[in-house]
Chain A
Amino acid sequence: MNSVKEEIEKSGSKMSSKTSQKIMNVVFVFSGILTLLILIVIIGYIVIKGLPSLNLNFLLSNPIDSGKSGGIFPMIISSLYVTAIAVVIATPLAVGAAIYISEYSSKGKIVDIVRFGAQILASIPSIIFGLFGLQFFVISLNLGYSVLSGGLVLAIMALPTIFQVAEVTLSSVPSLYKEGSYGLGATKWQTVVGVILPAAIPGIITGVILGLTRAISEAAAVMFCVGSAITTPIFITDPGRPLPLHLYVLATEGVSMQNAFGTAAVLVVIVLAITFITNYLVNRYQEKMMGER
Chain B
Amino acid sequence: MTNSTEETGIKSILLITALFSIFVIFLIMAFIFVEGWPAFADYGFFKFLLGLKWDPNNNIFGVFPMIVGSLYVTFFALLLAVPLSLLCAIFMAEVAPNNIRKFLKPVIETLAGIPSVVYGFFGLMVIVPRVRTTFGGTGFSIFASGIILAIMILPTIISVSQDSLKAVPNSYREASYGLGATNWQTIRKIIFPAALPGIVTGIILGMGRAIGETLAVIMVAGNVSQIPSSIFAPVRTLTSNIALEMGYATGLHYNALFATGVILFIVIMILLLITNYVQRKYKMDVGGGTL
Q: Report A's interface with B, CB cutoff 8 A.
A: 1, 3-5, 7-8, 11, 17-18, 20-21, 24-25, 27-32, 34-36, 38-39, 42-43, 45-46, 49, 92-94, 96-97, 99-101, 104, 110, 113-114, 116-132, 134-136, 140, 156, 159-160, 163-164, 168, 187-189, 213, 216-220, 223-224, 244-245, 247-248, 251-252, 257, 260, 264, 267-268, 271-272, 274-276, 279
Contacts and interface: CB of A to CB of B under 8 A. Distances in A.
Contact of B258 (A20, A131, A260, A276): A131
B106 interface: yes
A125 B247 CA distance: 18
B126 A217 contact: no
A224 B276 CA distance: 32
A128 B117 contact: no
Interface residues of B, number: 93
A251 B113 contact: no
B213 to A, nearest CB: 7
Nearest to B6: A189
A134 B19 contact: no
B169 interface: no
Contacts of B118: 42, 46, 244, 247, 264, 267-268
Label chain A's interface by main secondary structure: helix
The 3 closest A-B pairs by CB, nearest first: A125-B212, A96-B17, A123-B291
Interface stretch (B22-30, B41-49, B71-79, B129-137): B22-30
Interface in B198-223: 208, 211-215, 218-219
A75 to B, nearest CB: 12
A188 to B, nearest CB: 6
A251 B121 contact: yes
A11 B189 CA distance: 12
Contact of A123 (B117, B120, B268): B268
Given A36-B107, A42-B114, A118-B21, A24 B184 contact: yes
B196 interface: no
B281 interface: no
